[in-house]
Structure 1
Amino acid sequence: MLLKEFYSVINTREENGHFVTEIKIRKDHELYKGHFPDRPVTPGVILMQMFKEELERQTGRTLQFSNASNVKFSAVVDPNIDNVLVLESKIEVSGDVVNLKGIARNNGCAALKINATYNSI
């Protein structure tokens, strides 16, 4: 897990073929000392990595990012305002390829929408 100790999973459930995972971010994590000390912001690439790690956990596979056809960051994730994220994932597996349609929600707002492809390694 690349994001060791950055977050913990509160709950995961499956609803109509979608995974819904509640995650708690550690607002005192080292990452926020550099991004940014006076106003912490969760980097978009970290949100993307969280989806990858949760896909690996849900599929039991080791995955490598292949491509993304749509990535849209639409809200700032400030752990001091709300350090709980909800990752909604629709996963399709075809052989060694895993496709994701995901939305990360924070404080009731969509922070990231992503359509991405990963390869099993």
Structure 2
Amino acid sequence: MLLQDFYSVIQSKKEEGKVITHIRINKNHELYKGHFPDRPVTPGVVLMHMFREEMERQTGRKLRFSKASNVKFMAVVDPNIDDVLIMEYETEENEEVITLKAITKNNGSIALKINAFYN
């Protein structure tokens, strides 16, 4: 994990061809002291990185981000308002590439939509 102690998995399950993972963000993490002290916001790149970590956990493979398309940040993730995120994703994989189609939800809204490729 790149961000040690940033989040923990509450539960993860496969349902109707996709993985649904509930995570809890550590709202006291060092990251929020700089981003931003009076109003913490989870950086979009961190949300993207969490998908890679979760796919590595699910597949048992070490992955490297290759490219992304259709990346949309749609809501602010403030850990003081809602520290639980729901990550939903579908993957297709072959020997060389894993294709990800995913969303992150918090507080009833979609915070991130992404299509990404890892190898």
TM-score bin, normalised by smaller chain: over 0.9
2:101 alignment partner AA: K
What count of residue pairs does the alignment treat as equivalent? Answer: 119
What corresponds to 2:57 in structure 1? 57
- Distance in 1, matches of 2:82 and 2:5, equals 18
Q: Where is the strand percentage greater, Structure 1 or Structure 2?
A: 1
Q: Which residue of 1 aligns with 2:32?
A: 32
Partner letter of residue 106 of structure 1?
A: N
Partner Cα separation in structure 2 for residue 10 and residue 49 of structure 1: 18
Quote the residue 1:100 is aligned against.
100
Percent of aligned pairs sharing the same letter: 66
Displacement, 1:94?
1.3
Q: 5+ residue gaps in structure 2?
A: none
Give the partner amino acid of 1:78. Answer: D
Matches within 5 A, 1:11-50: 11-50=11-50
- Report runs of 4+ in structure 1 exceeding 3 Å deviation: none
1:75 is paired with a residue whose SS is coil
Per-residue deviation at 1:95? 1.3
1:17, distance to aligned residue in structure 2 (A): 1.1
SS in 1 for 2:52: helix
Distance 1:78 1:18 in 2: 26
How many Å separate the matches in 2 of 1:75 and 1:92? 27
- TM-score after normalising by structure 1: 0.97
Superposed CA RMSD in Å reads 0.5
Q: Secondary structure at the match of 1:58?
A: helix
